[in-house]
Chain A
């Protein structure tokens, strides 16, 4: 059985269309010979601002929520080093994953921020909109 070529623009376009349709922000596929990571331009985890009364002066606290139901993973089980272990993250850094069937969806930091609380545990089943991280945006 011939394998899909991840470098084929048509394949990438097809996958992007599927992600769009499913409301998924990105995906990561790994094979011995090829790897593919797609993060859609709109692709940031849902960010909900806390009520203003809880905001810290000079910084803004937000909650990173699950964009889809899945199994939350703190790191890619096949590549443990991909976990950004520092509490200080830059925009686009991978801060966790959601496993949806065979697909691993990376969760990225929406902005430069400090992770104040990791809400979901590794391996937990989370629903759409469930809080995963509380972060403080860096000004």
Chain B
């Protein structure tokens, strides 16, 4: 099964894709590849040998033990698997090595195509200070604060904080995912906070570099999906609201973000596209913003496919994974911004194998599984009855996605779909999600990023 063996595919940059991931996204990518006539190589760790997507792949190869560091995060093992299987491209999915600049570079150096941006773009966006500088230069609105590393002298740090105005937030330049940050309410708490965060950053991200920004107190998390080819074409595919978060982890996402003036979002979307052109970005990406009092503030760019991409697919009608693969194949986008029209409303909830009260991960065998179906309902999952949830990886088991003509219709549809869902044998957060969607807060919309944690606190106190 060597690349370029099929004469009908000879003009393509590659005909076989190695999917360097697991779970629902491995299956999602596999389907997109097959829809485009691309062959797939599924890789797995020993813990995932029973995955069904392995059987539907053109080749299935175990690359290492259960520990992610020895399998899904093992660059050498993945490159070896690509060489053995004759794959011409590697799709990293999300998580694992998807935003690892060194991996992107190693893939390209091996003569393969990395389905994602070039290493330099990943590195720029992975460094929060460099990313902010690039975004400011492109006219993307950013959170107030200098786009440079904090100095070491405490007097200079105090001056910067005073200029921004308290409360401020101190962040690790190499951080992300909600880690390596600390809110400072006043000058008395500043020095200790800087020392602690610097030490955390050094340990967790290998760099003590910090930066400081204005801390927004009640923002929403709104993000913009972009899609760029290698020919200078770029579009944005609408926006999403991902404010329903617990401990900085998204639980529910929806598209579009409710209550945002179309003119405002259009100007921010255009700025994102301009930024992509300016940095020579290719593939899919997401600009994440905080939105407060009618203003957008850039926080970071994710240089990969997002877990929540389906809500944008449901509203835009564009298959983002197929588009991503076409870009990697070297094809032009074939659409302009005028062709992108978002219709209706979509909501996604993440069904995790976790205790609905304590949120502790739950491992075990799924003994019964009934998934909802019908108009406007989409389920992305890799699990089946008899599937064993291993304790080694992310607890996401099912993504339930709905679409309706209006937000109210989408909420009604997700309530109905959750009522029909039956997943037994392991603990899941389904009961928590059902209660969340029944609540008035979600129905009202436009909730901030603290809503879910406050709602949980009130619920446990009641």
The segment from A32-40, A49-57, A84-92, A124-132 that touches chain B is A124-132
The answer to whether A128 touches B64 (Cβ under 8 A) is yes
Q: Which of B41-100 contact A (CB under 8 A)?
A: 44, 46, 49, 59-65, 70-71, 76-77, 80-81, 83-85
Interface string of A67-90 (1 = CB under 8 A from B): 011110000000000000000000
B84 — which chain A residues lie within 8 A by C-beta?
69-71, 125
A68 to B49, CA, bound (A): 15
Is A59 an interface residue, CB under 8 A from the partner?
no
A41 — which chain B residues lie within 8 A by C-beta?
none
The answer to whether B61 touches A125 (Cβ under 8 A) is yes
A contacts with B, residue count (CB < 8 A): 13
The answer to whether B83 touches A128 (Cβ under 8 A) is no
B contacts with A, residue count (CB < 8 A): 19
The answer to whether A23 touches B70 (Cβ under 8 A) is yes
A70 to B61, CA, bound (A): 10
The answer to whether A69 touches B70 (Cβ under 8 A) is no
The answer to whether A69 touches B62 (Cβ under 8 A) is yes
A103 to B70, CA, bound (A): 20
Residue of A nearest to B46 (CB): A129
The answer to whether B85 touches A128 (Cβ under 8 A) is no
The answer to whether B61 touches A129 (Cβ under 8 A) is no
Q: Give min CB distance, A66 to chain B, whole Å.
A: 8
A125 to B64, CA, bound (A): 15
A69 — which chain B residues lie within 8 A by C-beta?
61-63, 77, 80-81, 84
Is A58 an interface residue, CB under 8 A from the partner?
no
A129 to B46, CA, bound (A): 7
Q: Which of B6-28 contact A (CB under 8 A)?
A: none
Q: Which of B312-353 contact A (CB under 8 A)?
A: none
B60 — which chain A residues lie within 8 A by C-beta?
127
A94 to B60, CA, bound (A): 27
A125 — which chain B residues lie within 8 A by C-beta?
59, 61, 84-85
A42 to B104, CA, bound (A): 33
A68 to B84, CA, bound (A): 12
Is A101 an interface residue, CB under 8 A from the partner?
yes
The answer to whether B63 touches A127 (Cβ under 8 A) is yes
Is A4 an interface residue, CB under 8 A from the partner?
no
The answer to whether A101 touches B83 (Cβ under 8 A) is yes
Q: Give min CB distance, B312 to chain A, whole Å.
A: 35
Known A127-B61, A128-B63, A130-B62; contact A100-B80, beta-carbon cutoff 8 A: yes
A31 to B49, CA, bound (A): 38
Is A13 an interface residue, CB under 8 A from the partner?
no
Interface string of A90-113 (1 = CB under 8 A from B): 000000000011000000000000
A66 to B261, CA, bound (A): 59
Q: Give min CB distance, A100 to chain B, whole Å.
A: 6
The answer to whether A101 touches B80 (Cβ under 8 A) is yes
A32 to B80, CA, bound (A): 27
Q: Give min CB distance, A99 to chain B, whole Å.
A: 9
The answer to whether A128 touches B76 (Cβ under 8 A) is no
A125 to B85, CA, bound (A): 8
Is A1 an interface residue, CB under 8 A from the partner?
no
Q: Give min CB distance, A71 to chain B, whole Å.
A: 7
Is A22 an interface residue, CB under 8 A from the partner?
yes
A22 to B64, CA, bound (A): 11
Residue of B nearest to A101 (CB): B83
A22 to B76, CA, bound (A): 8
A129 to B70, CA, bound (A): 13
A128 — which chain B residues lie within 8 A by C-beta?
46, 62-65, 71, 77
Q: Give min CB distance, A122 to chain B, whole Å.
A: 15
Query: Which of A68, A69, A128, A129 counts the most B-chain CB atoms under 10 A from its CB?
Result: A128
Interface string of A118-139 (1 = CB under 8 A from B): 0000000101111000000000
Q: Give min CB distance, A83 to chain B, whole Å.
A: 22
B85 — which chain A residues lie within 8 A by C-beta?
125
Q: Give min CB distance, A139 to chain B, whole Å.
A: 30
A22 to B74, CA, bound (A): 10
A128 to B49, CA, bound (A): 11
A130 — which chain B residues lie within 8 A by C-beta?
62
Interface residues of B (CB under 8 A from A): 44, 46, 49, 59-65, 70-71, 76-77, 80-81, 83-85
Can you add 17 more A-B contacts, CB < 8 Å, to A125-B84, A128-B77? A22-B76, A23-B70, A69-B61, A69-B77, A69-B84, A100-B80, A101-B83, A125-B61, A127-B60, A127-B61, A128-B46, A128-B62, A128-B63, A128-B64, A129-B46, A129-B49, A129-B62
Q: List 25 A-B contacts (CB under 8 A).
A: A22-B76, A23-B70, A68-B77, A68-B80, A69-B61, A69-B62, A69-B63, A69-B77, A70-B84, A71-B84, A101-B80, A125-B61, A127-B44, A127-B61, A127-B62, A127-B63, A127-B81, A128-B46, A128-B62, A128-B64, A128-B77, A129-B46, A129-B49, A129-B62, A129-B65
**When A and B form their complex, which 7 residue pairs have the shortest distance between CB atoms, in order from nearest?**
A127-B62, A127-B61, A128-B62, A128-B64, A125-B84, A129-B46, A129-B62
